[in-house]
Amino acid sequence: MARILLIEDDSSIAEGIILGLKSHGMMVDWFSDAKQGEMALQEDMFDAVLLDLTLPKGDGMTVLQNWRAKHIDTPVLIITARDAIANRVAGLNAGADDYLVKPFALDEVIARLQALMRRSQGRSQPEIRYGEVAYQPNTQQVTYQGQVVELTIKEVAILEQMLTHPKQIHSRASLEDKLYGWQQDIESNAIEVHIHHLRKKLGNDFILTKRGIGYYLNPAHSRL
Amino acid sequence: MKSIQQRLLTSLLIGLPLLWVLTSGFIAWRLWHEIKEMNDTQITQVARYLIGVAPKEDDNKNDYEKDDSKSKKKRPAKIYNLNSKYLSGDLGNAKDDYMGFAIWNKDGRLLMADENGQSFAFLPDQHGFLEESDSAYQRLNPFSKRWRLFYVHDDHDSKHKGRVIAVGQNLDSRQEMIVSAMTVQVLPMLIGLLAFIGLVIWLIRRGFMPLTQISAELAQRQPQDDSPITADVPKEIQPLVTALNVLFVKVAETLAREQRFTADASHELRSPLAALKLQADLLQQQLLQLSDIEDDNQLFYHAQKISNGIERATHLVDQLLILAKIEPQQQLPPEQLEKPDWLILTDIVLSDVNRLGREKHIQLKRSVICDNPADILPILINPILFKLLIRNLLDNAIRYCPDGSLIELQLDTNAISVVDNGLGVEPEQLARLSERFYRPAGQSQLGSGLGLSIVNRIAELHGLTLIFANRLPPDIGFITSVILKK
């Protein structure tokens, strides 16, 4: 289980992140000031760090610089309200691995954290599992209940989008955007057709519809 | 407003030649007068000598030509010229046609004359200088040879009573003399004048150099620059420069304070929004877990509304902060500028806004109007700001066009335009569109009314003008363009 160090002084943000990460199977240790946060990180204790920059008793940038000076290489994702380009560049130059400007979506924090951990562990494309469905991003192979399922390219693209952002509702427009980009026009019911085919191949209740809003993976399956 | 330098130069360049003309005029007038006086004196002097030395009518017979000895009465006059045997030695630059004289007896018989004098008329009633108004003067001065003539009557010597002596001076020669005298005077003065004018221009330019230098420095200056002016200025301007230097520091401080405020504000505004957004995300996720509950649609609808509200506030904060950052800038720092690949850049922006378009079934299109994509708007840009500009234009078009519209991003050599086939904008609202927080009444769309203000500012920073127009009939729709300033 991944262990995350969170250094953030705003308690309601911290609580939100902690709850969100927990629901994605991550353990979170939270510190609310720069001194404690800096002390908390010793070699190999955490898989990744979420670091706010504006902190009591110090600045996030200094904390980060001190860690890197001590050759602590734990991946760091900066979460901050400072959005100027100069700030981003300074952050990345100081040794941060990624930079996220507040306010952010929970999904994005999780996706980026997972990407950072994958990269630090040398795995750039792991298998994604959701219940009985498994997906290999590098080969684009999908298995259901251990059996390989033949999917069209568009179906794979939709499935990949939903598997990489599992706890989110995907609107038809957002899926169309992922599939076709801005240049192509599509028939109005193309997504419906693809979803229909995916349900036939992966089980009728694997993808659910929230009427008028979009599609999402059945949460009941994630626990399997 | 004219510059002091221009004003000085204009008045000096008009005044100096005027003064010069007046001075030269006065000198010429005096010279003319003096030369006339001198020459007239000379003429009367010659006349005086002639009275003394002129031959008596009957003696000195040897002086007369003797070839005709039959009749003394018909003896011709003795004629002199400079080359005659009576003058010898170096004649210098003497000219023969300069002066002339003639002597007649009282009956008008020419006794003696030089070459020029032969043509003089015998005027028994004339005394002194022949004036221009006299009829004889007209007669004696036909076209080319004009003479100033002086007549004197030898009345003192009883023996030769009534002799008339005329001495004349060639006026051409006199004029030549005056002209050459004046040329000698005026030419060096003219050269002097030109040199003086050149010197004046150079000195004034040089004198104003520190001011020109300061102007150039000020024009290039960034508002946040608080370094003092480095130009070496004269003592008179030093107080001004000192005051400016103090002002620079103040302005830079104010700007820095404002930027600190913007940074603080962005932190203070974004943190609560971030917290809210996280909670709304969590709420939605948990509602999804409850998907087996039949009537959760209503709950999910509320959660969705909260998300939308947060998104709207986030958008407003973003726009405000962007505006606060770019508003005080006078120009974009050169190190942030680069030559864009318009196709790649617009691809990114079109992809960004595509989802918004898809939700309304709006089709996005890009057309390159000019023949060669390399000719598209050849300017250096700040890519981040320019993406924001195009994004805001497309965003607006998508928001305010009805479902199923077509929105075209047109790239041309001097402009980038967004053309839609929507409803257009009421003419009276056109002028107010880029005002801050202005939104036409009755909008159902999300928005802050700041988007076009930002577009306007970014366009200005790139030397572009933002213009709005409805499409001309029969087409309907709206055009927003950023155009290269001519």
d(CA B355, CA B361): 9
Clarify whether residues A164 and A181 are in a common domain. Answer: yes
- Decide which of A88, A121, A154 is a domain's last residue: A121
**Predicted TM-score of the model (pTM):** 0.61
B81–chain A Cβ distance below 8 A for any pair: no
Assess contact for A191 and A172: CB atoms under 8 A. Answer: yes
pLDDT computed for residue B63 by the predictor: 46
Report the CATH number that the domain containing residue A68 is assigned in CATH.
Answer: 3.40.50.2300
Do the Cβ atoms of A182 and B361 come within 8 Å?
no
CATH number of the domain enclosing A132: 1.10.10.10
- Residue B13 has which token pair? 């360049």
Element (H, E) at B177: helix B171-220
- Do residues A82 and A104 share a domain? yes
Q: Looking at the predicted structure, is the pLDDT value of residue B65 above 90?
A: no
- Please check whether residue B390 touches A, CB under 8 A: no
- pLDDT for residue A187 is more than 80: no
Quickly count: other Cβ atoms within 10 Å of residue B180's Cβ.
Answer: 10
pLDDT of residue B161: 66
Quote the CA–CA distance of A181 and B348 in Å, as a whole number: 10
More confident residue, B432 or A176: A176
Using alpha carbons, select from B200, B185, B192 the residue that is nearest to residue B25: B185
Closest-CA distance of chain A to residue B305, Å: 12
- Predicted ipTM beyond 0.90: no
Which one has a higher pLDDT value, B102 or B84?
A: B102
Q: Is the pLDDT of residue B486 over 80?
A: no
- Minimal Cβ distance to B282: which of A101, A106, A185: A106
Q: Which residue does chain A place closest to B347, by CA atoms? A: A182
CA distance A212 to chain B (A): 10
Identify the bridge partners of residue B419 per DSSP, sorted by sequence position: B408, B479
User: Whole domain around residue A196: which residue ranges?
Assistant: 128-221
| pLDDT above 70 coverage of chain B, percent | 83
**Which DSSP string corresponds to B205-253?**
HHHHHHHHHHHHHHHH--TT--PPP-S---TTTHHHHHHHHHHHHHHHH
Cβ atoms of residues A202 and A130 within 8 Å: no
Query: Does A140 share its domain with A113?
Result: no
Using an 8 Å Cβ cutoff, are B254 and B295 in contact? no
Distance from CA of B291 to the nearest CA of A (A): 8
Could you give the angle at the alpha carbon of A161 between the alpha carbons of A156 and A162, nearest 5°? 100
Cβ-defined contact of B285 to A106 (cutoff 8 Å): yes
Q: Which residues 26-45 in chain A show a CB within 8 A of chain B? A: none
Dump pLDDT digits (tens) for B102-130: 888 877 788 888 877 777 878 777 788 87
**Mean pLDDT score of chain B:** 80
pLDDT band at B66 (very low <50, low <70, confident <90, very high): very low
Q: Does the beta carbon of B343 lie under 8 angstroms from any beta carbon of chain A?
A: no
Residue B144 or B104, more confident: B104
Give just the sign of the alpha carbon dihedral A210, A216, A218, A223.
negative
Residues A115, A10 share a domain? yes
Tell me which chain A residue has its CA closest to the CA of residue B300: A210
Poorest-pLDDT segment among B194-198, B211-215, B347-351, B454-458:
B211-215
**Contact check, Cβ <8 Å, A23/B285:** yes
Q: Nearest chain A Cα to B266, which residue? A: A81
Cβ contact (<8 Å) for B351 and A16? no
A139 with A101, same domain: the answer is no
Backbone angles phi, psi at B407, to 5 degrees: -120, 125
Distances (CA, A) of A173 to A4, A120, A177, B162: 34, 34, 6, 135
The pairing of beta strand B99-104 with beta strand B110-114: antiparallel
Average pLDDT over residues A102-131: 81
Tell me, yes or no, whether A94 and A21 share the same domain: yes
Per-residue pLDDT at B481? 92
Contact A103 B277 (CB under 8 A): yes
A174 touches chain B (CB under 8 A): yes
- The answer to whether residue B298 neighbours chain A at the CB level (below 8 Å) is no
C-beta neighbour count of B229 within 10 angstroms: 19
Work out the minimum CA distance from B391 to partner chain A, whole angstroms. 14
- Domain count of chain A? 2
Looking at the predicted structure, is the pLDDT value of residue B144 above 60? no
Instruction: Please give the domain boundaries of chain B with CATH numbers for all domains.
Output: 4-84+93-184 (no CATH), 238-326 (1.10.287), 334-484 (3.30.565.10)
Tell if the CB–CB gap between A13 and B325 is shorter than 8 Å. no
The confidence band for B292, taking pLDDT boundaries of 50, 70 and 90, is low
Q: Does A208 touch chain B (CB under 8 A)?
A: yes
Residues A109 and A152 grouped into a single domain: no
Answer for the pair B284, B307: CB distance below 8 angstroms, yes or no. Answer: yes
pLDDT at residue B410, as a whole number: 93
Mean pLDDT of B264-286: 84
- Put simply, whether A13 touches B (Cβ < 8 Å) is yes
Whether A6 and A88 map to the same domain: the answer is: yes
Last residue of a domain, one of A106, A121, A136: A121
Considering the domain architecture, whether residues A11 and A114 belong to the same structural domain is answered as yes
A101 CB within 8 Å of a chain B CB:
yes
Q: What pLDDT is recorded for position B9?
A: 87
What is the average per-residue pLDDT within B370-396?
Answer: 88
The CA distances from residue A224 to A129, A131, A145, B177, B289, in Å, are 10, 5, 11, 127, 14
Residues A116 and A138 in one domain: no
Residues of A in contact with B325 (CB under 8 A): 84
| C-alpha A128, offset from chain centre | 12
> What's the pLDDT score for residue B375?
85
Residue A86: name the closest of A53, A123, A45 by CA: A53
Residue-wise pLDDT for B423-437, tens only, equals 888 877 777 776 666
Lowest mean pLDDT among A14-18, A152-156, B214-218, B399-403: B214-218
- From A75, A103, A121, the end of a domain falls on A121
Q: Inspect the interface and report whether the beta carbons of B384 and A83 lie closer than 8 Å.
A: no
CB pairs under 8 A between A and B: 112
Quick one: what percent of chain A has pLDDT higher than 70? 93
Q: pLDDT value at position B68?
A: 45
User: Is pLDDT at B405 greater than 60 in this prediction?
Assistant: yes
Using an 8 Å CB-CB cutoff, list chain A residues near B270: 81, 101-103
CA distances from B146 to A220, B22, B149, B169, B241 (A): 132, 30, 9, 8, 71
Could you read off the pLDDT of B319-329 as tens digits, one per residue?
Answer: 888 888 787 77
Mean pLDDT of B42-68: 65
Hey, are the CB atoms on B275 and A176 less than 8 Å from each other? no
- Residues A111-132, mean pLDDT to the nearest whole number: 79
Quick one: A108 and A21 in the same domain?
A: yes
Residue of A nearest to B262 (CA): A82
Compare CB distances from B274 to A84, A104, A218 and report the shortest one's residue.
Answer: A104
pLDDT score of B143: 54
What's the pLDDT at B25?
A: 87
- List phi, psi (to 5°) of A143: -120, 145
Contact criterion met (CB below 8 Å) for A18 and A6:
yes
Contacting B residues, span 250-279, partner chain A, CB-CB under 8 Å? 263, 266-279
Are A111 and A153 in a shared domain?
Answer: no
pLDDT of residue B70: 46
